[in-house]
Amino acid sequence: MDRNDQAPASAVQLDPQAHDGHVKSAEEKRYLRKLDLCLLTFTCISQLIKYLDQQNINFAYTSGMKESLNLYGNELNYFTTYFNVGYCIFLVPSQIMITRFKPAIWLSCLELIWGALTLGLAGVKNHKQVYAIRAFIGAAESSAYPGAVALLMTWYTPLEMAKRIGFYHSCQPIGSMVAGGLQAAILKSLDGSHGLEGWRWTFIINGIMTIVIAALGFFMIPDFPDRPNKLAFWFTAHDKRIAEDRLLRWRRVAPDAINWRTAKKAASTIITPALMWLYTASLIAVAAVSYFNLFLKSLKHADGTAVWSAEALSAVPMVGYTIQILSTWFFAFCSDYFRTRWLCLLAIACIGIPSATILTIWNVSTAAKYYAFFALYATNTGAPIIWSWMSDMLPTEPEQRTLTISICISFYYAINAWSNPLIYPAKEAPHYKHGWGVSLGLYCSVVCIILALRTYDIKVIRPRNYRARLALEQEYLESVSAAQAVLNDEEFGASTLDKDKQGTTVVSVLEHNITK
């Protein structure tokens, strides 16, 4: 959605000073700072802990778990497989449940469960126990990312959203950067303590960290603007009014429970399959960056010695993660500031096309390959903008947004489970005979789907959303009329209407619950 897609001149502006969405009153700025400090900070820390919990199995495997449990087959692959199975099966049901239970309760309880299960990994005796626990951890973690994204879409406006989701999303590469150092510190300081091996302590420490953060969720997650969490001590009644005013200003509605109507709408719109492919193709196209260290390991000097030491093989990819983090923030900021999603996504794909082309040719200079790999890190940044674009296209359908996120992520996991070994077989590393060509084709398909969805947005979605905005404005005006009638009755004189500096009448004390 671009900047020129504005509401009609007759549209109700609850804050006339904020006609340019970037301009906010001091009161709203204070509210936004509070929301960032509590909700955004909590979700970012939770995402960081979640990523550590996902990665600790790999570190434990290489730090003594393999020998302790006699894991000399494909057990490590199955650890990931069982996690993904639990994740996929429970993802959509969990997103449905988050709209029926309060997010503060649902998300925090699930995080407590996976924290306890992570602790349980410290006591496993064989690989079968690990399989079972990993499956349940995957189920418990399934709602963390999509649930948090759905919450951020509910609380932030289109000019704030991509940045916040971008900060949240960037906690994944940040987790990759800190995981190794944290796990190594645990292993070094606690190995053998109280008779426990170091790899078991990694699960204990990670589990305790998860449980502590989960407990904070009961107080940090504010639930929904019209139904705030009573345990969120930081969220006042005044904040609730500002939150509801912001919903009205941007012609949005608070979420309701997902039902069959929601599922039918998600299944019947072209938005769902388009976003499924856009999200999945974007991620699979860039999946090869995870094999960057194999490329580094293959480089040899003329005398046959390795170009990079063992320590450097871990350090050099950190540069790529830094590029990914900064690129995520840059594109998310541009997406919000200029209020254009499709152009940012198109720019990301256009970075990927020449990079994938270089790697497809392969017989190029080593410097060109370095450029291609590092540039690919910059393309692993589109998810926050995809979700923000979806939110722009479905402003009055929060339940459909919540369900669509889970469908897209489930589709990606289902495709990636079998496609990744076929596209990037380990025996072909670092030059994948067909993998780089597939990556190039996926980037090209991303460009096509972006342009097609952009056209559909202009031709179909915007006119539909314009009509929905008019309906919301009419409902709001009726609420104002009802409030004015009450104001004129001396018996209900406690309700007041303020006037702003420009003399425009706005509602300052009005309980409203806009429903579809």
pLDDT band at 494 (very low <50, low <70, confident <90, very high): very low
The percentage of residues in the chain with a pLDDT greater than 70, rounded to a whole number, is 89
pTM, to two decimals = 0.86
Res 409: pLDDT: 95
d(CA 249, CA 404): 24
Q: Which CATH number fits domain 265-467: 2.40.110.10, 3.20.20.80, 3.40.50.920, 1.20.1250.20?
A: 1.20.1250.20
**In 3D, which of 416, 228, 263, 445 has the Cα closest to residue 356?**
445
Give the pLDDT confidence of 294-353 residue by residue, as tens digits: 888 889 988 888 899 877 887 888 899 999 999 999 999 999 999 999 999 999 999 999
Is 171's pLDDT higher than 50?
Answer: yes
Average pLDDT, the chain: 86
**In 3D, which of 332, 265, 320 has the Cα closest to residue 40?**
332
Q: What is the mean pLDDT of residues 169-177?
A: 89
The residue type of 344 is: C
Res 259: pLDDT: 86
d(CA 436, CA 516): 47
Res 8: pLDDT: 36
pLDDT band at 92 (very low <50, low <70, confident <90, very high): very high
- The CA angle 193-195-197, to the nearest 5 degrees, is 75
- Strands (E) in 347-484, as ranges, are none
Instruction: Work out the burial of residue 462: count CB atoms within 10 Å of its CB; fewer than 13 is exposed, 13-18 middle, 19 or more buried.
Output: middle
Res 20: pLDDT: 52
Alpha helices, DSSP H, located in 25-74: 26-35, 41-60, 66-68
Query: In the CATH hierarchy, which fold is given to the domain comprising 17-247?
Result: Growth Hormone; Chain: A; (1.20.1250)
Q: What is the mean pLDDT of residues 416-424?
A: 85
Q: What is the mean pLDDT of residues 130-158?
A: 94
Res 508: pLDDT: 38
pLDDT band at 125 (very low <50, low <70, confident <90, very high): very high
Res 10: pLDDT: 33
Alpha helices, DSSP H, located in 170-197: 171-190
pLDDT band at 6 (very low <50, low <70, confident <90, very high): very low
pLDDT band at 489 (very low <50, low <70, confident <90, very high): low
All structural domains of the chain with their residue ranges = 17-247, 265-467, 469-507
User: Burial letters for 49-71: b for 16+ Cβ neighbours within 10 Å, e otherwise?
Assistant: bbbbbbbbbbbbbebbbeeebeb
pLDDT band at 9 (very low <50, low <70, confident <90, very high): very low
Lowest mean pLDDT among 65-79, 201-215, 220-234, 342-356: 65-79
Do you know the residue count of the chain?
516
CB contact at 8 A, 299 and 356: no
Is 355's pLDDT higher than 90?
Answer: yes
CA 303 to chain centre: 46
Q: Tell me, yes or no, if the two domains 17-247 and 265-467 fold the same way.
A: yes
Give the pLDDT confidence of 26-41 residue by residue, as tens digits: 899 999 999 999 999 9
Is 15's pLDDT higher than 80?
Answer: no
